[in-house]
Amino acid sequence: MAREFQRGHKAKVSDLTAGTDLYVGVQIAGPGLTFDISCFGLDANEQLSDDRYFVFFNQPKSPEESIQLLGAQAGDTESFRVTLDRVPASIHKLSFTATIDGAGQMSQIGPGHIRIVAGGEEVVRYAFTGAEFTTERAVMLGDFYLKDVWRFAAVGQGFDGGLDALLKNFGGEVAEEEQPQQQAPAAGAPGFAPPPQAAAPAPSFGAPAPQAPAPAPSFGAPAPAPAPAAPQPPQYQQPAAPAPVHAAPTMAAPLAPPAPAPYGQPPQQPSYGQVPGQYPGQVPPPAPAPGGYGQQPSYGRVPGQMPGQVPGQQPGYAPQAAAPGAGLAAALQPYKEAPTGSRWTPQNQQLMRVDLSMGGQAVLARQGSMVLYQGKVDFSYKGAGFAGRIVGNATGQEMQLMRCTGRGQVFLAENGAHLHAIELQGDAICVSAENVLAFDESLQHEVRRIEGHGIPGGALFTMQFQGTGTVIVKTHGVPVVLPVTPTTFADSNAIVAWSAASQVILSSQVRLRRNAYPGHSGETVNLQFRGAPGNFIVVQPYEV
């Protein structure tokens, strides 16, 4: 039975099917609209560094035929054959897109889907409608991406501009055809001719007895007589040296350039949500490191943060003074809503937006933290239950939560605190309940005990979050992220979070001889952190 994906859902391909020879079908249509459906083979920087892996109507297969364009069949507008175990090591992502050829907008399309079929059985389907888009002329439907193993993500992200603009987004460029009257395809890029229409189910790749009649298309079979030739479209080329961007899957780069550091903030202050792969707490970073909480100090990733961004400053959120006489629209332009295709989007350092229509799951947030919402959103009380209240009252880690559901956008903030989105992908992190603003309901959370002597009650407590989802952490001011060493100590009232794999020990500097005299340092109870290289702590410049 096929798994129904919502926008933003991800899964390992091995969890969906044991096969690697896959059929990808795309169904998209609208009144009076014509679509170009393509597959981009991207490198580790999400760039089209080899234009031979741009598979579209004028180049229907990759060199080793790991990606093949099959044409319309089995109820799909366009279809592909993808053989993952034959994709070369230089290709890290296969992005399937649909663009409108001519006038029109994605809001005009009807119900559509992208689906994966393995061995004749549909294993994944992501459905979408035009109501999810507005003026976009292209949409990135789904991705196969390599992260240790091949995974599939339902993207559903609209994109302004057509195929040319989408190509440039992936680092390619459009070269105008000097001789448009030439109709013969170039050598090495055979002309596209759609295979015969089939009303049978999707093909079962790799099935035995290929000589027997079957509904599957015959790969490499002669194409039927082509329709009257249309003008040759422009040929696409990739630039000589595309500019690298971050390799986070399905993330969109910010639309505004980095803003200067706020007044009084040192430029070298490290950013709380660093660029993926940047070693936190180091300026400049010594070397890129792979992601994963509890394995290395890559704490928190703000989606869409640009390389070279001023640390501690969200991109494009430092308002610039409008020119004299520029008018009201120009004066308000720096404060407009930040449009991205992510579920969680920082609007500025103190305001976070969550799109409930992406991901198909509820959000738990602190009661009263909603400042604005758009669309159809329901808010309900989220109780911890009798046992949860007992634990919360006993440990001080009780959170008064509300449950946000529906299809719309909710804007969250609290007392002007700085907000940071931390994305977990199966790993865990410990955060003080006082510093949690909101989190995806899919995350597991529980109270974790830190035992020790010399403090009231004999223990400290924290919240541990684990699973796949995002938790929004709030801090007073811009925090600092430090790697754990054998001599790392932090004030128990200033610590915000730490990697769940760290060992935490209570360190007390209370001495009987010191207490025999009046006065003390005020730093009697600290937390000592130990752990393997790669663990981290987060401390705010403020004591609760």
State the pLDDT at residue 307.
44
Q: Which residues of 305-337 are buried (b: 16+ CB within 10 A; e: fewer)?
A: bbeebbbbbbbbbbeeeeeeeeeeeeeeeeeee
Q: In which residue ranges of the chain is pLDDT below 70?
A: 1, 173-326, 340, 383-398, 450-460, 506-525, 544
pLDDT score recorded for residue 41: 95
Please state, in angstroms and rounded to a whole number, the distance separating the CA atoms of residues 65 and 61: 6
Task: Output the pLDDT for position 117.
Answer: 95
User: Quick one: pLDDT at residue 183?
Assistant: 47
**Structural contact between residues 500 and 471, judged by C-beta atoms closer than 8 angstroms:** no
What is the structure's pLDDT at 457? 37
| Per-residue pLDDT, 195 | 45
Residue 170, pLDDT score:
84
What is the structure's pLDDT at 147? 92
Q: What is the pLDDT of residue 42?
A: 94
Comparing CA positions, the residue from 1, 83, 78, 85 lying closest to residue 34 is: 78
Count Cα neighbours of 81 within 13 Å in the Cβ-side half-sphere. Answer: 25
The overall pTM is greater than 0.75: no
User: 């696409």: which residue's tokens?
Assistant: 236
Give the number of other CB atoms < 10 A from CB of residue 266: 10
